Structure 1
Amino acid sequence: MTAHPKKDPVTGVLFAFRYSMLQPLITYFWFDAAGNKSPEVPIFSLKQPSVMHGFAITELYALFPETQLVMKPMDMVVHGGSFIGLDQAKVPWIGVLPRYAKDESEIRWFEVPRFNLMHTTNARDEADGEEIVLVAPNNLSIYHMLGNMELLHARVDMVRINLSTGVVSCTALSSKSLEFGMVHQGYVGRHNRHGYFGVSGPMPKLSGITKLDFHRVGTGDCTVAHRDFGPRCFAGEPFFVHDNINGDGNEDSGYIVCYMHEEATAKSRFVMMDARSPELDIVAEVQLPSRVPYGFHGLFDTQTELLAVLQ
């Protein structure tokens, strides 16, 4: 099952999928707000098993990005090679399926050349559902996923898919190598303006945090705020926590939180940064008794959500 299910902030429905090296290569499903699982939707239209780590939702669709990173079980069994390999002749594509589909009959696949992602940042519908917009870090050197991860470069791109014409476009939002993009969870699957990304330092270490303003698309660089953690100081995936106290309704009113480790002193901290400040100022930090491994990432839950599970 994907490590990155998507929760609709309005309905509370949780969408997810699993992938396999056997048909069906993808199986899609969701859970309602009470935790009841939907009937599974097997997707047979893929011809080759691939590594599909993340996906995205909009208000109308679920998006399944297939990359050049594929599973090659016979290479491992017969030749003693790697289970994961690269198919450089393959053109990446994105499957678009109505998010409450009962079967795969309505899925449509759109080629997006050289668009290789592991994590999605957010997606949305536009033009009354005729267009889909997806923001995600695009691994430009996907072959480095198989070795030399420190050389991996992920550029944040915005992909537009016109469902009527089939036209697909891809626009870079920043030239920096950024990963683990996060948005305000109240905007998942909906139009949002800001994203917060870890700066590759190199991967899986993150040397800083960069804030992008998606409304600046087309300017060449959508960066509006940045924090560098300093020499030999690295962090894990950032997460956005909204500040409900002010109640001002601004999408970026809140804090960026992450784990940080200083290699020179071997000390680790949990830090909170002001998401609206130009330098993402650190406003609070907590000393940790041990280090959280680089690359560790997931979600933070509120106390209310945790108590609801316990009840």
Structure 2
Amino acid sequence: MLHSLLLPSPASSGDDPVLCSRYVQTYKYLVERDAGAPVLPNVFSGFHGVAGMARGAVVAARVLTGQMNPLEGVGLANTSLAYFAGRLYALGESDLPYAVRVHPDTGEVTTHGRCDFGGRLVMGMTAHPKKDPVTGELFAFRYGPVPPFVTYFRFDPAGNKGADVPIFSVQQPSFLHDFAITERYAIFPEIQVVMKPMDMVVGGGSPVGSDPGKVPRLGVIPRYATDESEMRWFEVPGFNIMHSVNAWEEAGGEELVLVAPNILSIEHVLEHMELVHACVEKVRINLRTGAVTRTPLAAGNFDFPMINPAFLGRRNRYGYFAVGDPMPKIGGVAKLDFDRAGEGDCTVAQRDFGPGCFAGEPFFVADDVEGNGNEDDGYLVCYVHDEGTGENRFVVMDARSPDLEIVAEVQLPGRVPYGFHGLFVTQAELRSQHQ
């Protein structure tokens, strides 16, 4: 389900915020709505063990009898949102993007359909594409259980998809949830979470698990590569990331810097997130010497990172994080100053939402629309739920204040469940959406 809060513009005095919650009309949703019961199990957890194999057999029977067509999509479109080329998309990495629309005046959310970009996108796409704030291009990838296990691609500012770049140097199907870009490179993490489809088929195990013997590594490929001939891999032992914060180039492009939360208990990340602890690190790769250095930035359990989007792919100073209490529950937000790397804990501000209060992922909204102010000129926004009283709020925090002060809030008429990733879309973007 997609939850949207339409905030009135300053010129529309007297208008109230509008909360709209609507199911994205995915093929999976429509099939299960008509069946009156779950039909397509979750790809990561629904096929676990003997019961999972039985569910798989039921799905196969439905396909063979024509009750469903998996080519129409099996995804949830429930992971994140992206706005580019005049369209808003709901994303889930196991399927194609779904175009959705938020009405700029009423706030009504509608689904406009599954998008294959003129037939050029034939399989799933990451839920964490990267939009270059300068060029307007969108960079993305997909991964899967059969070779090539990772495929890289991009879209031009008009939304036209470029050619696929298969990455055959990834020789084992791995769980690749996020990546990073700089002005000239794309950086892919290969972590210890791997796909094991045969474990499910032969032994009734989970199709996704951890491989403690695998050494994590980072792959660097030129941003506009047409093949993987110039891709280089750098081993980074123990560095398992689910989300990247940002990446950029230094020393005239000779060094790459990646900031990301490192999952210390990676074996628990998909099924027991309450046992996971993520420590933010800065990783520096020297492209000339091949040396990799790592600097811890914070000891707190920080993940679901966010920056000022205007700095994506460029050097930036501040990052904002959800505070695990424990994960996946978010008990607060924290601000880190990356320029303090090497001086100890880089946490410079933190706000806890109070006992029994938990939030969704925070999102940074820049206040500096002209692009001439400070990087942290803006606000952090998120939904907060009080499990004790049942109260639901949308809170706005001053991103520059030393305690991330709450400067405004909206009392919500209903619950916005804890979810994954969100997005802020301006009124201008809402009004320029394609019909």
Aligned in 2, Cα 1:245/1:58: closer, same or farther, shift over 3 Å?
A: closer
Aligned amino acid, residue 203 of structure 2:
H
Match of 1:261 in 2: 385
Give runs of aligned pairs for residues 1-311 of structure 1, distance below 5 A: 1-244=125-368, 249-310=373-434
**Residue 17 of structure 1: how far off its partner (Å):** 0.4
Aligned in 2, Cα 1:70/1:247: closer, same or farther, shift over 3 Å?
A: closer
**Residue 63 of structure 1: how far off its partner (Å):** 0.6
Aligned amino acid, residue 42 of structure 1:
P
**Residue 245 of structure 1: how far off its partner (Å):** 6.2
TM-score by length of 1: 0.97
Aligned amino acid, residue 210 of structure 1:
A
Instruction: Measure the CA separation in 2 of the matches of 1:16 and 1:292.
Output: 28
Let me know the Cα RMSD of the aligned residues.
1.3
Instruction: Measure the CA separation in 2 of the matches of 1:113 and 1:191.
Output: 25
Aligned amino acid, residue 279 of structure 2:
R
Aligned amino acid, residue 177 of structure 2:
H
CA offsets, 1:109-139, max 9 Å, x none?
Answer: 1101100010100000111111000000100
CA offsets, 1:233-272, max 9 Å, x none?
Answer: 0111111101026965100011001111110011211111
Q: Which runs of 5+ in 1 are unaligned?
A: none
Q: What SS does the aligned partner of 1:104 have?
A: coil
Provide runs of 4+ in structure 1 moved above 4 Å: 245-248
Q: What SS does the aligned partner of 1:102 have?
A: coil
CA offsets, 1:257-291, max 9 Å, x none?
Answer: 11111100112111110000011000111122322
Instruction: Measure the CA separation in 1 of the matches of 2:372 and 2:255.
Output: 30
Count residues in correspondence. 311
Q: Which has the higher strand share?
A: 1
Contact 1:204 1:295 in 2 (8 A): no
Instruction: Measure the CA separation in 2 of the matches of 1:48 and 1:289.
Output: 47
Contact 1:121 1:135 in 2 (8 A): yes
Q: What SS does the aligned partner of 2:269 have?
A: helix
Identity %: 67
Q: What SS does the aligned partner of 2:373 have?
A: coil
Higher radius of gyration, 1 or 2? 2
Instruction: Measure the CA separation in 2 of the matches of 1:3 and 1:209.
Output: 22
Residue range with higher mean Cα deviation, 192-201 or 288-297: 288-297
Q: What SS does the aligned partner of 2:229 have?
A: helix
